[in-house]
Amino acid sequence: QVQLQESGPGLVKPSETLSLRCSVSGGSVRTETYYWGWVRQPPGKGLEWIGDIFHTGRTNYNPSLKSRVIVSIDTPRNVFSLNLRSVTAADTAVYYCARALDDWFFDLWGRGTLVIVSS
Amino acid sequence: QSVLTQSPSASGPPGQRVTISCSGSSSNIGSNTVSWYQQVPGTAPKLLIYRNGQRPAGVPDRFSASKSGTSASLAISGLQSEDGADYYCGAWDDSLNGPVFGGGTKLTVL
């Protein structure tokens, strides 16, 4: 079955760029059915949508993060990525990659990766 | 501050029925479908309900949900100890042009 797996540094310095990758196995990102997205969860808090991408490269971002976020997709490698620049301690969170359908629910989630922003 | 509003906690003894509510507005729940997620601490959220009341394969029929106007609710009947988790509602928001979530409800099985 389809699985998602996040990877990337667990520690990022303030003002630097957080970069994560989501590897998709058991299925293709090159599908008309799904969007591929990122959701984060600060410690002890709720879920926040960051942004998403379609296999065509069309993106959609949370307005509160839009100036700092880029989500990209590499269809031959079957991965999609998150770059969040100029991070602060407020960006410390568990970052999940997830698959969404177009009436907007996330039906498949990665296990998540904790990213701490600290010097 | 979450766009969708949930009570922070709920509880009940094993076997009882518990309801978790989610309140939104005309730009989200009022005009789009609602989903519900279960998150056991330390693990990723899991889709529990989609399109207001549909259950993915493998989700027991003890879990049911409904939507009315700008509010939605999740009902869990025959509470079991393994139901203790955080529950989140979600919906597309036309103003944000993206999905939004509730702040989560921590369910304790007494």
Spell out which residues of chain B touch residue A112, defining contact as CB-CB under 8 Å: 44
How many whole angstroms separate alpha carbon A88 and alpha carbon B38? 29
Q: pLDDT tens string for chain A (119 positions)?
A: 999 999 999 999 999 999 999 999 999 999 999 999 999 999 999 999 999 999 999 999 999 999 999 999 999 999 999 999 999 999 999 999 999 998 889 999 999 999 999 99
Predicted pLDDT at A103: 80
Predicted pLDDT at A35: 96
Predicted pLDDT at B41: 92
- Residue with more model confidence, B1 or B83: B83
How many whole angstroms separate alpha carbon B22 and alpha carbon B102? 7
CB within 8 Å of chain B, chain A residues 54-113: 60-63, 96, 100-101, 103-112
C-beta atoms of B44 and A96 within 8 A: yes
Q: Which of A5, A39, A47 to mutate to test the interface with B (most CBs of B within 10 A)?
A: A47
Closest chain B residue by Cα to residue A62: B98
A/B interface, count of CB pairs below 8 Å: 69
Predicted pLDDT at A102: 82
Predicted pLDDT at A11: 98
Residue B1 pLDDT greater than 90, yes or no: no
How many whole angstroms separate alpha carbon B44 and alpha carbon B1? 21
C-beta atoms of A46 and B45 within 8 A: no
Predicted pLDDT at B70: 97
Predicted pLDDT at A104: 85
Residue B80 pLDDT greater than 90, yes or no: yes
Residues in contact with B52: Cβ distance below 8 Å, sequence separation at least 6, in sequence order: B33, B34, B65, B66, B67, B72
Percent of chain B whose pLDDT exceeds 70: 100
How many whole angstroms separate alpha carbon A29 and alpha carbon B95? 28
